[in-house]
Amino acid sequence: SGEEQPPRLFQFHKDGFLVLEQFFSAEECDSMRSQIQRIVAEMEVPPHCRTAFSTREEEQLQAQGSSDYFLTSGDKIRFFFEKGVLDEKGNFLIPKEKSVSKIGHALHAYDPVFKQITHSPKVQELGRKLGLERPVVVQSMYIFKSLLAVTPHQDATFLHTEPLGRVLGFWIALEDATQENGCLWFIPGSHTNGITRRMVRAASGASTCVEFVGSEPAYDDKQFIPLPISKGGLILIHGEVVHKSELNSSESSRHAFTFHVMEAKGTTWSKENWLQPTPELPFPSLYT
């Protein structure tokens, strides 16, 4: 295009990620945290978490309920729990707010606080700086990150487009993310080699709702670099960059709000993706 790119955008294209400290204010982070507390306080335990199953058939029904709950969460606000936090009747074994691992996947559409953050003028301006012409928001998640590690992955494995390179993650630290409490780790430059596996919707009648196609590459642990970031910081994540998080070994939580944007111009969203736009919620434009 002949235009000189700002050095930071050059860095993004080189590394596949970009750290923007203090992108959101402490107040904005706190408003998201208090809003999520309200949402958790009002949450109902989903029916598939309540069945004390005794037969193989009931077990399959529960698994089916669980997969339907996930597959149809694209246009709703739904709750995903840590393992072992509910008894078979759906009662909490630990404090409610510590039981949830994430809330997704349409906070950006149905919750006023998260909608405002997702479409905030700063985010829209960043989209324009990145050269996005018709960006749409495909999904959002509030991540509590209590314990578990997240294995190395590429977002495009789950959110596949033709061509690749059209999906971008916005990851917002709502509290300081450190090596102790599970910050993100990246392999710089790993976004240029395409993807080796995809998660696709399984054929109807299959025992699982999704399956992986292709192979899981082995990554060299030494190639990952940690990206600690302060509260309010934003990490831009290229859809094909390899990243992970280690388990949270600290006493402190590591809340984050994240959403994914797709450049819709000249792009096809895969019909095999677990997440599909619906008549009730077509992917909304990032620019309002």
Residue 1, pLDDT > 90, answer no
Residue 2, pLDDT > 60, answer no
Tell me the pLDDT tens digit for each residue of 15-58. Answer: 999 999 999 999 999 999 999 999 999 999 999 998 777 898 88
- Residue 104 is predicted with a pLDDT of 97
Sign of CA dihedral 178, 180, 184, 187: positive
High-pLDDT (> 90) share of the chain, %: 79
Name the pairing type of β-strands 167-173 and 234-238: antiparallel
- Residue 33 is predicted with a pLDDT of 97
**Which pTM was predicted?**
0.94
- Residue 259 is predicted with a pLDDT of 98
Q: Is residue 67 part of a domain?
A: no
Q: Is residue 286 part of a domain?
A: no
Q: Is residue 65 part of a domain?
A: no
In the chain, the number of structural domains is: 1
Q: For residues 104 and 130, what is the distance between their CA atoms, to the nearest angstrom?
A: 26
Q: What is the mean pLDDT of residues 205-226?
A: 90
- Residue 3 is predicted with a pLDDT of 56
Q: Is residue 59 part of a domain?
A: no
Q: Is residue 237 part of a domain?
A: yes
* E runs forming strands in the chain: 17-20, 77-81, 100-105, 135-143, 150-153, 161-162, 167-173, 184-186, 197-201, 210-214, 225-227, 234-238, 243-245, 256-263, 268-269
The alpha carbon of 227 is separated from its chain's Cα centroid by a whole number of angstroms, namely 17
Q: What is the mean pLDDT of residues 70-92?
A: 93
Residue 163, pLDDT > 50, answer yes
Q: Residue 220 is part of which domain span?
A: 7-26+107-269
Q: For position 156, which CATH number holds? A: 2.60.120.620
